[in-house]
Amino acid sequence: MLTFKIVYSRMKFCRYLINRSFSRKFSSNSRESVKKGLVLGVYESESSSIGVELTHAAGLVNNQTENKLINLLHLSGPIKQGKCRVFHGICEEFPSIAVVGIGPKSLAYNELELVDEKKEAVRAAAAVGSKALREAGSRLVELDPCSDEEAVAEGASLALWEYEDFKEKKKHKPYVDLCLFGPSNGEASEQWERGLKLGSGQNLARWLMETPANHMTPTIFAKHALEMLGKSGIGVDVHDKAWAERNKMGSFLSVGRGSDEPSLFLELSYMAGEKNSKPVALVGKGVTFDSGGISIKPSAGMDAMRGDMGGAACTFAAIKTIASLNLPVNVKGFIPLCENMPSGKATKPGDVVTAMNGKTIQVDNTDAEGRLILADALCYAHTFNPKFIIDIATLTGAIDVALGSGATGAFTNSEELWRRFSCAGAKTGDRLWRMPLWNHFSRQVTESHLADINNVGKHGRSAGACTAAAFLKEFITCDHWMHLDIAGVMLNKDEVPYLCKGFSGRPTRTIVEFISQSIA
């Protein structure tokens, strides 16, 4: 086992924690000196003469300002869902007020869309309002609860985050502190804090994914785990190559052969549940850069392969968020870390390697490496007799072709897991779509010329996401397993209105919500 000297200063993750902390507090004096802004919501209303209905908070502000808000809305016209209008000079306390459209008051869970549309509308409204006020110069933004404090906090905290570690300070977006508008209320404050922690967790996953690969090697990733997770009361064991060799993880070790960066295996432990309670196992693909190896990728877009450790980032962030929420549950995290690079030492197409469970694997495509490292991680996870096993991986381009950024592809042998995850995704707005896990696909990977199993389907790219999941199923004996292929949701362009362009950190919040619901 490796041990690291932890460096507490001048580390990028320290700056992340300082600058992007979800709960940075101002003193009363500093709050008074900071330019404040206020986000208020309005509903669409056909019965109203001005086309909108004020939320409770907006109504209070309107009454306190002698109907100035209503009069301005009457002059400027209705505000559509997801849109924003900034008014100045309505009241002295808030020089700038952003009025945001939440959409119809009747929005609720949409069974066909598999999402709570009201929560998504609130997240989007909080996001657009917060960003508009930042542009207007506000450095302290108070937000209308909009009857859903958690969603408001998520939308605002996710929208204001951007990766700026390597930009000049003068190019950084100004920091904005967030707080809830209105009198303090115990339940409302609790939901607000929960939303901030969920947003912070997803932002952490985004930060890990965005960091350039030369600043996020397996060794550096492990150091971040020791520093950030260790401080949160999470056990962190960093296993080296010799440990993996003793555990006969030939499949995992084959992927990193071509790199000068040593492969590592992280084992995370958050044990806050009952002593004899089975843990939930989270397994995250941790390829910190994927060139494709000998089966090298095209150069166009290869820079995005720094995010091929998205499964590891989500696992890391989800466990940290679970700890911050003090959830009474036992969780084990397993993260195989490596680089997939071409060299004279690299695995070659046609090579045969042996996994921890003794199965031999014919490696016909070295760019299908994620399933190779997950195979051994899944085998090792089984040794802890987990209640559930959830693996998260940017596994296939095929899932992007199938689902795009609309949903994470979910493959499972458990109806119970699917039901719970589907409910969690509906609440977080980060949906899953169930994909087939049939023997039809298993036969395409188990009919191998040289070994027990092939790392690609015999029909090539056809049903690539399904054959990849079928490969993983060969290493599963647990009755409750789900594979989440997140390659399609890895990046955000403009599909999710409360996320900026770049790596998304999806589905971190859905994983946390699933575990929260599992212990409810």
Provide DSSP, 271-321.
Answer: E-S-TTPPPEEEEE-EEEEE--TTSPPPSTTGGGGGGGGHHHHHHHHHHHH
The tens digit of pLDDT for each residue in 111-157 reads 999 999 999 999 999 999 999 999 999 999 999 999 999 999 999 99
Q: Across all residues in the chain, what is the average pLDDT?
A: 93
φ and ψ of 489, to 5 deg? -100, 10
> How many helices, marked H, and strands, marked E, lie in the chain?
17, 22
Predicted TM-score (pTM) of this structure = 0.93
Task: Single out the residue of 305, 200, 308, 322 nearest to residue 268, CA to CA.
Answer: 322
The pLDDT, as a whole number, for residue 520 is 65
What residue ranges define each of the domains in the chain, with the CATH number in brackets? 24-183 (3.40.220.10), 206-518 (3.40.630.10)
Task: Out of 12, 248, 297, 458, pick the active-site residue.
Answer: 297
Tokens 């190019």 sit on residue:
171
The tens digit of pLDDT for each residue in 247-265 reads 999 999 999 999 999 999 9
Which class for 296: exposed (0-12), middle (13-18), buried (19 or more C-beta within 10 A)?
A: middle
**371 is known as an active-site residue:** yes
Task: Single out the residue of 281, 291, 208 nearest to residue 16, CA to CA.
Answer: 208
Cα separation of 406 and 418, whole Å?
17
**68 is known as an active-site residue:** no
Beta-carbon neighbour count of residue 344 at 10 Å? 6
Cα–Cα separations (whole angstroms), residue 130 to 37, 118, 322 = 9, 18, 26
CA–centroid distance for 457 within its chain: 29
The pLDDT, as a whole number, for residue 83 is 97
Task: Single out the residue of 124, 189, 115 nearest to residue 151, CA to CA.
Answer: 124
Contacts of 107 (CB under 8 A, 6+ apart): 117, 118, 121
The tens digit of pLDDT for each residue in 373-428 reads 999 999 999 999 999 999 999 999 999 999 999 999 999 999 999 999 999 999 99
The pLDDT, as a whole number, for residue 23 is 37
Cα separation of 179 and 130, whole Å?
11
| DSSP three-state, residue 259 | coil
Cβ-contact 325, 232 below 8 angstroms: no
Q: What is the mean pLDDT of residues 206-233?
A: 97
φ and ψ of 250, to 5 deg? -65, -30
User: Is 16 a residue whose pLDDT tops 50?
Assistant: no
The tens digit of pLDDT for each residue in 86-106 reads 999 999 999 999 999 999 999
Task: Single out the residue of 165, 97, 81 nearest to residue 130, CA to CA.
Answer: 97
Contacts of 49 (CB under 8 A, 6+ apart): 74
Task: Out of 85, 123, 206, 371, pick the active-site residue.
Answer: 371
The pLDDT, as a whole number, for residue 19 is 41
Contacts of 148 (CB under 8 A, 6+ apart): 118, 119, 122, 191
CA–centroid distance for 76 within its chain: 38
User: Is 25 a residue whose pLDDT tops 80?
Assistant: no
